[in-house]
């Protein structure tokens, strides 16, 4: 959880888009592939093993119209350092221990352009003994800090080497894959379900693997048929006797 003062939390929607720390989805590798540190096809290469799930934080399209995902590589640690500003009092920082704090490159005031903050563990922040009162929120006094910390590395991987699932966490995708493996689901079906594709004839378990839990469930009985309708954003799946019969 990112820590900010109560006053900043109240005003944050007006000021800040902290996109640096937000995830956009998961990428599941289907084959062993090399990923690049600096940019697509640029910089040091790192091998990503097949059948692993990574958090996606950004994407780009290269000159050849190939989509590349910028993914977090947790086992590789990168040292970063810098200076910035936090909207916390010194005693609040001391109480947070290793919890993450948003550090901004400059003091934020109402009406400024959206600005992304960087997550830094509170234990890695050093007060610079420089403060600046907020001009728009009297309760806030900004503290200048320096930091040196380690963060997971990030690399660029080609979209053609795996499956991208927007708005799903890497952990959920990894758990779904592991469960399908333990139940001896064949590789083609694994790939289809990991891609979120549901077909007529699928079971409720297979739909759950593909789409997750529905936002709403309806159940009824008619002419010896048990009918279930599962609702997802923009999609409905109808089961008859626990078999998918219709997808709308």
At residue 23, the pLDDT reads 53
Pairing state of beta strands 225-232 and 45-48? Answer: unpaired
Task: Evaluate if residue 242 carries a pLDDT over 70.
Answer: yes
Phi and psi angles of residue 131, each rounded to the nearest 5 degrees, phi first: -125, 160
Average pLDDT over residues 86-115: 87
pTM of the complete model beyond 0.85: no
Sheet holding 243-247, edge to edge: 216-222, 225-232, 235-240, 243-247
* Mean residue pLDDT across the chain: 90
The string of pLDDT tens digits covering residues 56-96 is 999 999 999 999 999 999 999 999 999 999 999 999 999 99
**What CA–CA distance (Å, rounded) separates 88 from 7?**
10
Pairing state of beta strands 216-222 and 225-232? Answer: antiparallel
Q: Which residue, 2, 46, 48, is CA-closest to 22?
A: 2
Average pLDDT over residues 164-193: 97
Cα distances (angstroms) measured from residue 186 to each of 128, 174, 182, 193, 196: 58, 16, 11, 11, 16
- Considering only residues 24 and 150, tell me which one the structure prediction assigns the higher pLDDT: 150
């Amino acid at each position: 959880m990112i820590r900010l003062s109560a006053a900043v939390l109240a005003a944050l929607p007006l000021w800040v888009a902290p996109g640096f720390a937000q995830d956009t989805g998961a990428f599941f590798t289907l084959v062993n592939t090399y990923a690049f540190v600096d940019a697509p096809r640029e910089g040091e290469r790192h091998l990503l093993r097949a059948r692993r799930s990574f958090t996606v934080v950004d994407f780009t399209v290269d000159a050849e119209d190939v989509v590349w995902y910028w993914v977090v590589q947790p086992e590789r640690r990168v040292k970063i350092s810098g200076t910035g500003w936090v909207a916390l009092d010194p005693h609040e920082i001391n109480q947070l221990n290793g919890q993450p704090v948003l550090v901004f490159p400059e003091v934020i005031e109402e009406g400024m352009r959206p600005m992304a903050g960087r997550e830094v563990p509170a234990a890695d922040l050093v007060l610079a003994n420089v403060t600046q009162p907020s001009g728009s929120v009297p309760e806030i006094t900004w503290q200048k800090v320096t930091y040196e910390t380690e963060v997971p590395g990030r690399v660029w991987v080609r979209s053609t080497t795996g499956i991208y699932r927007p708005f799903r966490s890497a952990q959920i995708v990894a758990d779904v894959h592991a469960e399908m493996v333990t139940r001896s689901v064949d590789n083609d079906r694994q790939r289809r379900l990991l891609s979120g594709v549901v077909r007529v004839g699928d079971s409720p378990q297979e739909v759950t693997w593909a789409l997750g839990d529905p936002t709403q469930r309806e159940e009824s009985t008619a002419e010896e048929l048990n009918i279930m309708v599962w609702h997802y954003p923009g999609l409905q799946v109808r089961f008859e006797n626990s078999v998918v019969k219709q997808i709308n």
